[in-house]
Amino acid sequence: MAEHFKIAIVGAGRVGTALGRALAARGHTIDAVVCSTRAHARQAVRRLGAGRPAVLDQIGTDVELVLITTPDRIIEKTAEELASLHRGWRGITVLHCSGFLAATALRSLRRKGAWIGSLHPLQTFTREDSSLEGIYFFLQGDPHTTAVMRSIVRQLGGRSCLLPQRHKPLYHCAASMACGHLLALLELGAGLFRKIRIPPAALRPLVDRTLDHYWRDGFRASLTGPVARGDRRILQGHLEQLRRIHPAYAEVYRQLTRVARAKLSPRGSSRR
């Protein structure tokens, strides 16, 4: 198995750029870079510092690895478009980076002989922060593709975990909650602080220490406040405040209190 590839990136956005940069830095050759427009592809090439702007049918017949890092909703369609190009896909590895979709989203390319897989970096990517060092990559695909993905992850300084196809939707749901919903909750708290003219940044030491405690000691040992103390009067007082602002906030509070209570119970941490 080759250690270094000639690579095409289809969808050089946040993840495509992060992977492309890291792979170029480790000696891979970035070739075609495709975005939704040529102008965007030119900008992406500048961000990557490698590759050449291209459209789909300019992906050379000599690429060895294609990364489809478009939004999830067009991965399957993009694969179909690639498969319909008049060329052989035999022996070429094609990966997508969706945490939710299975590798079979690329089945049209497999029918043309490509090796297919999904390589999900368990990290959040913005344009600014794109480090891959030390993160977990969850892999799914056939054994050949898995070996290729493992080798890539090793080169990137990441850690590989195999993920059965049937677990992908729940895996991705968990990751989205721990990342996106955590942010939504922080923003909710920050918004309430703004309402009473307290700078949200005042929450930072509290939030940071809470997260430190959680990773060190786990949920039960880290939980403080009215749920941990079982103080119903205060919980009711909080709910009254939230109902006045927005019923949905009160509902979120009620449901999270239920979850916290259940997790505090003796069997809580193993409950569904």
Ligand X SMILES: NC(=O)c1ccc[n+]([C@@H]2O[C@H](COP(=O)([O-])OP(=O)(O)OC[C@H]3O[C@@H](n4cnc5c(N)ncnc54)[C@H](OP(=O)(O)O)[C@@H]3O)[C@@H](O)[C@H]2O)c1
CA distances, 21 to each of 8, 17, 33, 122 (Å): 12, 6, 12, 17
Least spacing, CB of residue 16 vs ligand X, in Å: 6
Is residue 125 a contact residue for ligand X (CB under 6 A)? yes
CA-to-CA distance for 145 and 110, rounded, in angstroms? 11
3-state secondary structure of 199: coil
Is residue 11 a contact residue for ligand X (CB under 6 A)? yes
Measured in whole angstroms, how far is the alpha carbon of residue 67 from the centre of its chain? Answer: 15
Annotate each residue in 47-86 with x if it binds ligand X (CB under 6 A) or - if it does not, as one string: ----------------------xxxx-x---x--------
Among 40, 52, 213, 238, binds ligand X (CB under 6 A): 40
β-strands 29-34, 6-10: how paired?
parallel
Least spacing, CB of residue 182 vs ligand X, in Å: 14
Give the residue with the Cβ less far from ligand X, 74 or 260.
74
In the bound complex, which residue of the shown chain has the CB atom lying closest to ligand X? 13
Amino acid at 41: A
Per-position b or e across 49-81, b if 16+ CB within 10 A of its CB: ebbebbeeeebeeebbbbbbbbeeeebbebbee
Give the residue with the Cβ less far from ligand X, 13 or 158.
13
Least spacing, CB of residue 148 vs ligand X, in Å: 18
Q: Which stretches of the chain bind ligand X, using CB under 6 A? A: 10-16, 34-37, 40, 69-72, 74, 78, 96-99, 120-121, 124-125
